[in-house]
Amino acid sequence: MPKTPKDYPNKSLAHRPDFYDEVRALLTQARQKAYASINFAMVEAYWQIGRRIVEEEQNGKERADYGAFLIKELSRQLTGEFGKGFTVANLKNFRQFYLTFPDFQKSYAVRSLSSWSHYRLIMRVDNPKAREYYLREAAEQNWSTRQLERNAAPLIGWTKPPLHPRTAAPPRDVFRANRTPPPSC
């Protein structure tokens, strides 16, 4: 007959918290890696979709009218098959993503650490050097989207950083004292 935990009263994991903590850390790390891989695969897909939209628009005869039709029709079909997430506005963002980062696939290391939300914010920064700076800082400092939004606020066109949603107070600055300042516009 197999033994149960009751057969080992002094052998519970309470006496070995380090063992449980190590196993827990392994699972947590594996989940984080899986999330990062899935996230990057989707960001890469959005860039590829943007590339295809731009390429298809270039082949259209009346570019502006064809581009509007193309995006609306693509949105309708993708939403029908894949569900929400493929609105006209999102497809325009994918297109802008490709146009803003035409060499996206060449700098894999930093780019793979950023989420789609990070890219949507960074696309609003006009200065290419500032965009690169904020992408690099966000990846190296592991900034949340909210931290990136706060730090890049002046370059996105906000005169003040957004207020914290719960406290309505300005958020604390997250720059480290020894970091180089962002490139000026």
**Contacting residues for 54 by C-beta, under 8 A, at least 6 apart:** 95, 98, 99
Q: List the chain domain ranges.
A: 16-106, 108-185
pLDDT interval class at 169 (50, 70, 90): very low
Reduced to 3 states (helix: H, G, I; strand: E, B; else coil), residue 119 is: helix
User: Is the overall model pTM greater than 0.85, yes or no?
Assistant: no
Residues 45-62 have pLDDT tens digits of: 999 999 999 988 887 555
